[in-house]
Structure 1
Amino acid sequence: MKLPKSLWFFVAAAIAFLLQLLPIPGIFLMILTASAWPGFLVNIGFLGIAVEALTRRASFYWLIVPTIWFGGYAAVAWRDHLPLQRLEQDVARRNASASVDFDPLRQSLVLVSKAREMPGSPPRAGLSLDEQEIVAALSAPVIYIRDPATARSQFSGASHIAIRTVDRLLCDEMEEPAFRNAGILTFAIFDLDGSGTSRMEDRDSRFCALGLPEDPILPPIEVERSQRESRIGLLPVSEITVTATMPDGTRRRMYGGSVHPLPWFPKPILGCALDSGAAAWRCFAHFSRDDVPLSPVLGSRFGGDDTAPALVQMLGVRRITAATRRGADSSMVLAKARAVQEHAIADATAKLDKAVDEDMSAPIGYGGLDVLLDRTDIIRPRLASIVEAMERSAAVNGTARDNVRQMLAMVKRLPPELVEPFRERIDVVDHYVRGR
């Protein structure tokens, strides 16, 4: 029986895959998206076999092979698409009662952030895209963020960050280390276009967001976004839920997400790529799948940064734009910032005194003394005691050693004339700590 010439496409597909098994040529092929080549060649091969069989350039029986490939695939894809309409209707029905009676004058809006940090770590340096857009889009005077993974002590006694829209000049002032070291954070405001990226041209030139360690006073409505992966048969489903917990404990939920059915035409992916997380060269073989949102509000964006439009609909608030955005009263925010700074200085001073006078193993926390950097008025009367405490604890492992490192960083920032009488002793401690 005469073999179809189109079988050479399968040989080429095998070569394209085998070359990717080797990391050195595989890296260059990865840049050229070679993982799509074998699938493309396989489809061309099956189509070529069908053409050759129909034109009698090969036995007619060869038509069975592409029929099984495309027909079997179409049957599985049809099964994937069967539940789509039912799932969309179910989400729409459940979201019909998802509205929340939110009044920013009587309630606080609290975003429960994802636990991205380890307990005791320093305050976060930025907002997620989701949080960025919520701050940019919602017409609430203040939005609180609570991160379950961040220790209360890192926020000068507060377990929340209060985010307010303020004049950019105030943010510029808050960029000073004296404020940043007290846990006061500044963020740019981007009017995102829904693409999942923040571009410099979308940055608001008049306003920014200022984050202060501050707990809500009004009864909180806590909002949390969760995602769960599941399957209906072979169909992968990404379920997204935005839950609003009211002050009385009742919950309102908005549902969404996306399903990932097979497209009607097969798109096999066979290749290898560098797994940078595990520092390994990994190979894979699967069919490409589509991304079909179950809700026009929640789950319709690449990357999942879609909580803002869901909250606008849920809370019934007005969505603001760059043209309608207004900033909080700068004098009020500045007074709060100075109070936070004073609280942080008092807290750090108390921790320093406890460590120096009582127990060098008492936890100060990551960057717990940073707010005292350049505070000569506080460090000068304690300098002799600090040097003595460092000498006692330089050889002790654990928390005491960490505290010595922080005190060394603080002492090294002092004017040379203050440090000179203790220079040799400080150098010995520094050399010992570095050597360990």
Structure 2
Amino acid sequence: MPKLRTTFTFWTTLIFLLFVGLQYFPLTGVFLMMVGAPIWTGFFPHLIALAIITDILIRQKFPRFLLVIPLFPYAVYYVFFAVDGLHIKEIERELQSQNPVKIITYNPDKYALIFPQYHARDFVQHYKVPVSYEANSNRPEGYTAYRIITGDLCVQSRGIKEHSHVTSTVSWKEKALFAYKNFTNLCKLEIPESPTKQHLTIRIEGISKESNKSPQKLQKIEYSFYLDEKPIGIFTAAQYVARPRFPKFIIGCALISNPPAWKCVYQLRYKRKVLNTFPKNTDLEKYGTNPIAQMLKIEKYTESDLESFKNYPETEKYLKELIAKKTTPEPCDNPDNEWGCYFNKKPPKTEDNNVE
């Protein structure tokens, strides 16, 4: 047997134990926590396994039968990974057989879409609806409406109603992209408004709660649809806390707040996987992976749709009626309002550019 100090295995293991030991004590561990030590220390088991394989196959420091030491844990892991995969497929097949392909076809002339809180504002940026609503008890109208509109209408719509708000851009994300794309030719209008059409209400409930000690692997989310408060259908989505394709670990210590303590953890990093619970003949390309859009057959925006976006007729009519009643000054009449002048391509009025 070679001297251990001449092997990669020895030094890799020693460095690993050193970092674990330094994290154990709060005095040194808090500094390592700030640079993400529990995450990158989690890669050391793989480095140790690689060091053992290198010492056996390349440097020939150990006999070949010791390859079982690094390879056996991976073999066990991928057996459990495969079992997880089979279980996930079984759950998906069961929910796909229960879920409908469609609940009702959304007609913007007949229905007002009413979402749970925080869902309406994102939906209107990604799917072809003129307006989306969410209940808001803080407004006399009882609801907040969200619309996307073109830049010229954005400027005119500022201050058209108390508590209305205009964002500077529309943010859109396609499934394959990692970042949102901002469309500066558009803005999102948030305005208190009561829906005047039939209420097509969506409620999201039934999310399984997790325990810190034993997280539930399967979490079902029920999307319930109501037409004027009468139930018309349910779609069940699901997430599964699964093992990742490549094992990742958290090894180290950190401050926790509930209860306040210095806590050390040595665990596998699980991945939350969204299950495909749509029936097999579902058109994911056209309607996307949003259960609400799928059940109501609402098409998603493409990048070119938003680049050439034109205001919906009902939006133009509604806003122009409000603009006609507006008594506040136009945006570029206010020297402090540079945002409104952005779309008009005119500088704010100042003493210098007011001189004849």
TM-score (norm 2): 0.68
Q: Please tell me whether the aligned partners of residues 99 and 235 of structure 2 are also in contact (alpha carbons under 8 angstroms).
A: yes
Look up the match of 1:326.
311
Alignment-mate amino acid for residue 192 of structure 1:
K
Alignment-mate amino acid for residue 166 of structure 1:
I
Q: Please tell me whether the aligned partners of residues 229 and 237 of structure 1 are also in contact (alpha carbons under 8 angstroms).
A: no
Question: How much has 1:106 moved relative to structure 2?
Answer: 1.8
Question: How much has 1:109 moved relative to structure 2?
Answer: 0.9
Alignment-mate amino acid for residue 228 of structure 1:
S
CA distance in structure 1 between the partners assigned to 2:155 and 2:289 by the alignment: 27
Count residues with an aligned counterpart: 307
Structure 1: gaps of 5 or more residues: 114-127, 299-305, 342-436
Deviations 1:311-346 (A, max 9, x none): 3322123334212442445463253478899xxxxx
Question: How much has 1:287 moved relative to structure 2?
Answer: 0.9
Larger radius of gyration: 1
Q: Secondary structure at the match of 2:217?
A: strand
Q: Please tell me whether the aligned partners of residues 186 and 209 of structure 1 are also in contact (alpha carbons under 8 angstroms).
A: yes
Q: Check 1:238–1:2 CA distance in 2 against 1; reply closer, same or farther (3 A cut).
A: farther
Look up the match of 2:347.
none
Q: Check 1:314–1:204 CA distance in 2 against 1; reply closer, same or farther (3 A cut).
A: farther
Q: Secondary structure at the match of 1:83?
A: helix
Look up the match of 1:81.
85
Residue 92 of structure 1 pairs with residue 96 of structure 2: yes
Question: How much has 1:18 moved relative to structure 2?
Answer: 2.5
Higher helix share: 1
Q: Please tell me whether the aligned partners of residues 111 and 144 of structure 1 are also in contact (alpha carbons under 8 angstroms).
A: yes
Q: Please tell me whether the aligned partners of residues 236 and 277 of structure 2 are also in contact (alpha carbons under 8 angstroms).
A: no
* 1:140 aligned to which of 116, 124, 129: 129
- Any residues of structure 2 matched to 1:36-435 within 5 Å, and which? 36-49=39-52, 57-58=61-62, 65-66=69-70, 68-113=72-117, 128=118, 130-147=119-136, 152=137, 154-155=138-139, 157-176=140-159, 182-187=162-167, 188-194=169-175, 195=177, 197-199=179-181, 202-205=182-185, 207-226=186-205, 227-228=207-208, 236-247=217-228, 249-263=230-244, 265-273=246-254, 282-295=263-276, 309-320=290-301, 321-322=305-306, 323-327=308-312, 328-330=314-316, 332-336=318-322
Q: Please tell me whether the aligned partners of residues 98 and 254 of structure 1 are also in contact (alpha carbons under 8 angstroms).
A: no
TM-score (norm 1): 0.57
- Any residues of structure 2 matched to 1:5-16 within 5 Å, and which? 5=7, 6-16=9-19
Q: Secondary structure at the match of 2:96?
A: helix
CA distance in structure 1 between the partners assigned to 2:170 and 2:54 by the alignment: 57
CA distance in structure 2 between the partners assigned to 1:51 and 1:138 by the alignment: 53
Q: Secondary structure at the match of 2:109?
A: coil
Question: How much has 1:11 moved relative to structure 2?
Answer: 2.7
Q: Please tell me whether the aligned partners of residues 103 and 233 of structure 2 are also in contact (alpha carbons under 8 angstroms).
A: yes
Q: Please tell me whether the aligned partners of residues 213 and 340 of structure 1 are also in contact (alpha carbons under 8 angstroms).
A: no
Q: Check 1:242–1:318 CA distance in 2 against 1; reply closer, same or farther (3 A cut).
A: same
Percentage of identical aligned residues? 18
CA distance in structure 1 between the partners assigned to 2:190 and 2:289 by the alignment: 18
Q: Considering Cα pairs closer than 8 Å and 6+ residues apart, tell me whether 1 or 2 has the greater RCO.
A: 2
CA distance in structure 1 between the partners assigned to 2:215 and 2:120 by the alignment: 33
Look up the match of 2:282.
none
Alignment-mate amino acid for residue 82 of structure 2:
W
CA distance in structure 2 between the partners assigned to 1:270 and 1:338 by the alignment: 63
